[in-house]
Structure 1
Amino acid sequence: MTNKKTMQFSQIVWRVCNFFMSLFFALASYVQINDPDAVLWMIAYAIPAGLCFLICCQQQITETLLWRRIADLHVLVSTVFVFLLGWNLHKVKITNIFQQEEGREFSGLLLTVFWLLMCRHSGRGAVGSLRLFTAVGITVFPFIAWMYYYINTELRSDWPEHCTTAI
């Protein structure tokens, strides 16, 4: 009986994590509105937002061919851009990546790739405790980081105007 309750609890936590990641990705998509290449970045965040929202509505959706193909295509394209941005950051020797627009783009795409890979096949059965603990940590991190940068305005002082005016 306790095993069944544990499974139900883990599924609820997994769905809640996906709801909050959907919310985060939707918010990340919204703040791109002032960006010079807004359409590209809005799509880059809107797709994972939608995929995560589908998981919180129906966890088994990850086993459908359409969900997997969309997620796989997004992971593939995002991974290419992660490598390109990462190489550029390495080449220019940028160490504080959150202070550079390319670093924030790199981090955002890396987050979408990692999250979608974690979601893959999560509808097959119970979500394991390692995946669940990782999901909770990843879900909390972007909200805390966003609040930290929002509260500490001096950290954003060198950011371009389009990065500071959306919210």
Structure 2
Amino acid sequence: MYFLSVCCQVVYMIPAVLTLLVGLNPLVTGSCIWKTVSAAHVLFCLLWAAGLACSLLLRAQHNILHEEEGRELSGLVIIIAWMSLCHSSSKNPVVGRVQLLLAIVISLFPFILWVYVYINKEMRSSWPTHCKTVI
């Protein structure tokens, strides 16, 4: 279980570092090393997401957000979308505006999803006790 926890932290740390590099120097996306690491990570996330999706289809009992795999799948989808945006950055102003809009949506998605889950009383009623007392 500890290995899985460390693995999850690394999966989120790699895109964070790659995105930090883009923030510090946007031209880094043209680097062969950056593109290779980014593409390899997106491929790894796609494979992991496919495995989680199959697992959820086979044994999900509740809403997928109640399952640990469902929450992890959501995180992987965000990583894949975000890294794809960074990987395909362009100097075309129209494409840049679309990418900016997508970046805003991706950034706000976890907050919007949290608000939806928190407001949805049916979903909240099936939470474990420790989740009900957190907020």
Asked whether the two chains share a fold, i.e. TM above 0.5, the reply is: yes
What SS does structure 1 have at the residue aligned with 2:14?
Answer: helix
Q: What amino acid sits opposite 1:38 in the alignment?
A: S
Quote how far apart the aligned CAs of 1:74 are.
Answer: 0.5
Identify unmatched segments of 5+ residues in structure 2: none
Given the two structures, how large is their TM-score scaled by the length of structure 1? Answer: 0.64
Q: What amino acid sits opposite 1:137 in the alignment?
A: V
Would the alpha carbon gap of residues 94 and 126 (structure 1) be closer, same or farther in structure 2, given more than 3 Å must change? farther
Quote how far apart the aligned CAs of 1:126 are.
Answer: 4.2
Quote how far apart the aligned CAs of 1:156 are.
Answer: 8.1
Among candidates 85, 91, 94, match of residue 125 of structure 1: 91
Is residue 102 of structure 2 the alignment partner of residue 134 of structure 1? yes
Q: What is the alpha-carbon distance in structure 2 between the residues aligned to residue 156 and residue 125 of structure 1?
A: 47
Higher relative contact order (CA 8 A, sep 6+): 1
Q: What amino acid sits opposite 1:111 in the alignment?
A: I
Equivalent residue runs for 1:13-92 within 5 Å:
37-92=4-59
The corresponding residue for 1:103 is 70
Q: What amino acid sits opposite 2:54 in the alignment?
A: W
Given the two structures, how large is their TM-score scaled by the length of structure 2? Answer: 0.78
Would the alpha carbon gap of residues 149 and 85 (structure 1) be closer, same or farther in structure 2, given more than 3 Å must change? same
Contact 1:99 1:158 in 2 (8 A): no
Aligned residues: 129
Q: What amino acid sits opposite 1:92 in the alignment?
A: R
Contact 2:52 2:69 in 1 (8 A): yes
Quote how far apart the aligned CAs of 1:92 are.
Answer: 2.1
What SS does structure 2 have at the residue aligned with 1:37?
Answer: helix
Quote how far apart the aligned CAs of 1:89 are.
Answer: 0.9
Q: What is the alpha-carbon distance in structure 2 between the residues aligned to residue 90 and residue 141 of structure 1?
A: 23
Quote how far apart the aligned CAs of 1:43 are.
Answer: 0.3
Quote how far apart the aligned CAs of 1:148 are.
Answer: 6.1
Would the alpha carbon gap of residues 56 and 149 (structure 1) be closer, same or farther in structure 2, given more than 3 Å must change? farther
